Amino acid sequence: MNPNQASSLQCALLLFTLLVSGCTEKKVDSRTKDFALIKKLVPYDVTMEAPMQGDWLFEHKEQGQNFEQYAKSAPVSPNASQKNIYLQPIGIFNEREDKIIHYTAEYLEIFFDLKTIVLPAVSDSIIPGTARRTREEGYEQLLTGYILDSVIAKSIPKDAIVVMGITQKDLYPAEAWNFVFGQARLKKRVGVSSFVRFHEGELSADNFDLCLERFIKTSAHEIGHMFSFKHCTHAVCVMNGSNSLYETDERPNRLCSECLKKLYWNLGFDVKTRMLALQAYFKKHKLTRDYDLQTRDLGL
C-alpha cells in the first residue's frame, strides 16, 4: 500500500467512525428523551389497594416484575423477520362481533406499535370433545391449553412475533377453574382471549362500546404476557391480574410507568406519538374514561 492509499483509507475510516458515532449519539438522545417522558408519568401511578377475598392477588401471591427483572429475562422481542401481531378468530362471528375483532386489531397496532393482521376465521370444530365442557348453566367452554398448543402454536405465520386466538365462546384453563377471560404463554408467543363475558345478552348497539373497552384491555394484557410480561403488582395497570369482571372494569386501558418503561425498552416506539394515537383511538370509539386518562398524561 502506498502513502496515498494509506492516507485515503485513514480518512475513510475516520469518516465512518464519525458517522456511526453520530447515529449512535442520536439514538441514545432519543431513548433518553423517551425514558425521561415515561419518568414524568410516575406521579400518575395509582397505588393498588390491599387485595380482598376473591381478588386476584388474594388468591395468587405474586411478586410482580420490575424493569430490571424484565430486562434480564430475555423477553420475546420483535426482529427483522418476526415483527407482526396476528389475530386468529376461532368460530363463527356476526357483523357486530367482527367489528369488535377489527377494532381490537386497530387498538393493538397502536398499543404495541406493530402491524396487526386479522387472519381468516377457522371453525371451532377443530377443537375436540376432550377439550370442551358444558357447564350446568348449559353454555359450552373451550380448553385454553388445547387452543394454544394444538391450534395456534402449530400454524404461526413466519413473520409473526405473536399470535392471539379470539373466540366468542367461554374459556377454561383446567377442570378446577370456572373460567378465564384469556391466557397466554410468556415465551411461546401464543395466547387466546374471549369476549363472551364482556356483554350481557346479545352483543348490541347498547353494549358494544363497553364490550370493546373490556376486550381491547384483555387483548393488550394477554399480548403483554406474550412479550414476557408477568402480572404487574407495581400500581394499577392493564397488566394487573383479574379474577372477575369487576376487577377487570376497575383497571384502565393504561400501562403504569414501570410497565410502559418495559414495553418501550423492548419495542422502541416513540412514546409521545403512541400517546397521541391512543388518545385519538379512545376519542373515535367514545371510550371516555381512557380518553380522559390519556389526555391527562399528554398534559405533562
DSSP string over 88-113: EEES---HHHHHHHHHHHHHHHHHHT
From residue 262, how far is each of 46, 75, 189, 269 by CA, in Å?
Answer: 18, 10, 17, 12
Its CATH architecture, for the domain 36-298, is: 3-Layer(aba) Sandwich (3.40)
So where are the chain's domains? Answer: 36-298
For helices 271-284 and 3-40, angle between their N-to-C axes, nearest 10 degrees: 40
The pLDDT value recorded for residue 6 is: 44
The pLDDT value recorded for residue 2 is: 46
pLDDT (tens digit per residue) in 87-116: 999 999 999 999 999 999 999 999 999 999
The pLDDT value recorded for residue 30 is: 64
Alpha-carbon span 31 to 35, nearest angstrom:
6
The pLDDT value recorded for residue 300 is: 67
Residues ≥6 apart with Cβ < 8 Å to 148: 165, 183, 184, 185, 188, 190, 191, 192
The pLDDT value recorded for residue 25 is: 40
Which segments of the chain have a pLDDT < 70?
Answer: 1-30, 300
Regarding pTM above 0.75, the answer is yes
Which one, of 95, 162, 167, lies nearest residue 127 by Cα?
Answer: 167
- Torsions phi, psi of 200, nearest 5? -85, 130
**Catalytic sites, residue numbers:** 222
